[in-house]
Amino acid sequence: MNKSELVDKILELKKKRNAIIVAHNYQIEEVQEIADVVGDSFALSKHCASTDADVIVFCGVNFMAESAKILSPEKTVLLPEIDAGCPMADMVTAEELREAKKKHPGAAVVCYINSSAEVKAECDICCTSSNAVKVVRSLKEDEIIFVPDQNLGHYISRMVPEKRMILWKGFCPTHHRVTIDAVKKVREQHPDALLLVHPECRPEVVEAADFVGSTKGIIEYATKSDKKKFIIGTEMGVLFKLKKDNPGKTFYLLSQGMVCPNMKKTTLQSVYNALNEMKYEIKLEENIRKAAQKALERMLEVE
C-alpha cells in the first residue's frame, strides 16, 4: 500500500475498532498527522481516559502506554512498536528502588512519569516535567528520593532549595548528550534567537537557557512569544508542531544529536498493524496497576 491507501485503511480500522490514536510530540511527522491528539505523554493518557474509545493506540514508548493503561484499565491499550522503550525509565527498577527506600525510611519517593508501572507502584507520588517543582514543593517531607532523572532532579533542587534531594543516577541519553559547548556554538550562529530547553538537559545547559520547560511548555512559550527566532533544546520531533503552528517564526535545533531512536520506531505501517492485528496489547498486574494509579492520582490532586 502507498501512504494514501495506508492512511485510509488506518481510518477505516479506527472506526471499526472504536479506537483513538494518540501520538507524542516526538513521533515522526506522518504519525503525528494521523493522530487524533498530539501532546505530552501524561496529557495524552488523561485524554484517553476521558473518551468513550474502546481501544487506545499509543504512538510513543512503553511507559507512556503503561500510563494510559493505569488510567484506563477497561480499555485495550496498544503499543504499535513493542520494543519502543525508554532508556531512562530502564535505569531504575522496582527492586533497586525498594533498597534505596530502606536506606532513607523517612524520605518521600517521587518518580518522574518516565518510569515503569512497577517503579510507579513503589512511589508516593508521580510528576511530569511541567509540574515537578509544584509536586515536590507540596510534600511535607524534607527529604526526597527522586527517580530516575538526575537532571530534572537537579533542576527541582534549584527551584526548591529547602528540600534535600536524593537523586538517582538516571538520565535521558538524547538530552544528556548535549553539552555547553554546543550551546555556545549555536548561540554564536544565532545570537538573536532565544534558547528554550527541556529540564532533562544537563544543569549547565539549563543554566544557559532563556526558558526551561516541558515539551508543551516550550511549544506554548514559542507560540506566545513576540520573538521570531528560537533555538530548541529538546527532541527534534517537536519542530513539526512548532513550525506548523508558527509559520512566521524560525526554529533551530540546539544539537543535531537530539533524536530519540525509540520515538522514531513507530510508522504508519506499525499503526496499521496494531489496529489490524490488535497488537501489541499492554497488560499490567492489577496490584501493580492500582499502586501506580495512587501515585498518579496523588499528582493530579496537586495540579
Chain segment 118-166, per-residue pLDDT in tens: 999 999 999 999 999 999 999 999 999 999 999 999 999 999 999 999 9
- Ordered by where they begin, the domains of the chain are 3-84+263-283 (3.40.50.10800), 89-171 (3.40.50.10800), 174-253 (3.40.50.10800)
The proportion of the chain whose per-residue pLDDT surpasses 90, expressed as a percent, equals 96
Cis, bond preceding 280 (omega within 30 deg of 0): yes
pLDDT band at 41 (very low <50, low <70, confident <90, very high): confident
The Cα-based distances of 102 to 106, 166, 168, 179 in angstroms read 9, 13, 15, 35
The closest of 104, 107, 125 to 291, measured between CA atoms, is: 125
Q: C-alpha grid cell for residue 278? A: 490488535
Number of other CB atoms surrounding residue 4 within 10 Å: 8
**Identity of residue 231:** I
Which pairs from 70-73 meet CB under 8 Å and 24+ separation?
70/45, 70/117, 70/120, 70/284, 70/289, 70/292, 70/293, 70/296, 71/45, 71/46, 71/293, 71/296, 72/45, 72/48, 73/284, 73/286, 73/289
Q: Distance between CA atoms of 287 and 117, rounded to whole angstroms?
A: 11
Sequence-ordered list of residues with C-beta below 8 angstroms from that of 256, at least 6 positions apart, any chain? none
The helix (H) or strand (E) run that includes residue 4 is helix 3-17
Q: Distance between CA atoms of 38 and 27, rounded to whole angstroms?
A: 9
| Mean pLDDT computed over 252-258 | 95
Q: What is the pLDDT of residues 164-207, one digit of tens each?
A: 999 999 999 999 999 999 999 999 999 999 999 999 999 999 99
Half-sphere exposure of 142 (CA within 13 A, CB side): 1
pLDDT of residue 226: 96
- Say if residues 125 and 295 touch (Cβ distance below 8 Å): yes
β partners of residue 37: 22
Q: Tell me the pTM.
A: 0.94
Q: Distance between CA atoms of 290 and 303, rounded to whole angstroms?
A: 20
* Sign, CA torsion 198/204/205/207: positive
Q: Work out the burial of residue 21: count CB atoms within 10 Å of its CB; fewer than 13 is exposed, 13-18 middle, 19 or more buried.
A: buried
| Mean pLDDT computed over 206-228 | 97
Sequence-ordered list of residues with C-beta below 8 angstroms from that of 18, at least 6 positions apart, any chain? 52, 53, 54, 55
The closest of 21, 3, 147 to 86, measured between CA atoms, is: 147
Number of other CB atoms surrounding residue 96 within 10 Å: 15
pLDDT of residue 133: 97
pLDDT of residue 42: 86
Q: What is the pLDDT of residues 81-131, one digit of tens each?
A: 999 999 999 999 999 999 999 999 999 999 999 999 999 999 999 999 999
pLDDT band at 294 (very low <50, low <70, confident <90, very high): very high
Q: DSSP letter string over 76-137?
A: EEE-SSTT---TTGGG--HHHHHHHHHH-TT-EEEEESSS-HHHHTT-SEEE-TTTHHHHHH
- pLDDT surpasses 70 at 77: yes
pLDDT of residue 303: 67
